[in-house]
Amino acid sequence: MSIKATPTAGAKLLTPNDHTLVMIDFQSQMAFATHSIDAVNLRNNAALVANAAAGFGVSTILTTVAEKSFSGPMFSEITEAFPGQKMLDRTSMNTWEDAAVIDRVNEIGKKRIVLSGLWTGVCIVGPALSALDQGFEVFVIADACGDVSAEAHNRAMDRMVQAGAQPMTSLQYLLELQRDWARTDTYEMTTGIAKKFGGAYGLGVTYAKTMFGAHEG
């Protein structure tokens, strides 16, 4: 049987409207003990993800654990991308065991869940394995997660991938939502986020546009 290629995106790729992003426990107390990624990169990557989701109108849940009594507020880089959005504070380490979060997941009603947060081996593994068990498709933004050691983070990623979760990175998330530079409505937003939070790639975009007036389209 012959196979015919068509110029269409694969079903495995994310779109802005087909998933719920859950950003979990990006809080100071959790960040203090995170050593698999340095705090500057962690905050930058979390900001990239948050701004990408906000810019593309992705359904997003922001959740904290023991915010007032122990862990502190969520990173301002995230909350500033979603002004006025309510934080769902929990006592459970596993976000998927919190009734308020699950009510919101069900209200949004999307079968794809994208996760990022602290720590990978506890607060990301818990909802990832739980959501997979209930038939959801799960993606984990690996460089917008962190744990107490590289070993802890890597083994957690291994465990989730073996269970069926799909790993990706923060910049990959942004560019997968854009996916075509001819999408002019979101072009300036996407390149703006890349310039601000996209590391070396963002510097390259800034240089090309400033020096040569370059345009990806």
145 labelled catalytic? no
Q: How far apart are CA 102 and CA 80, in angstroms?
A: 24
Q: How far apart are CA 33 and CA 201, in angstroms?
A: 29
Beta pairing class for 112-118 and 88-90? unpaired
Q: Where are the alpha helices (DSSP H) in the chain?
A: 28-32, 39-56, 76-79, 99-108, 125-133, 150-163, 170-178, 184-197, 199-212
**In the block, residue with structure tokens 């300036």:** 188
Query: Which residue among 42, 123, 125, 145 is the active-site one?
Result: 123
Distances (CA, A) of 199 to 48, 129, 173, 175, 193: 10, 31, 14, 14, 10
Tokens describing residue 211: 């020096």
Count the neighbouring beta carbons within 10 Å of the beta carbon of residue 101: 21
CB 193 within 8 A of CB 55: yes
Catalytic residues: 123
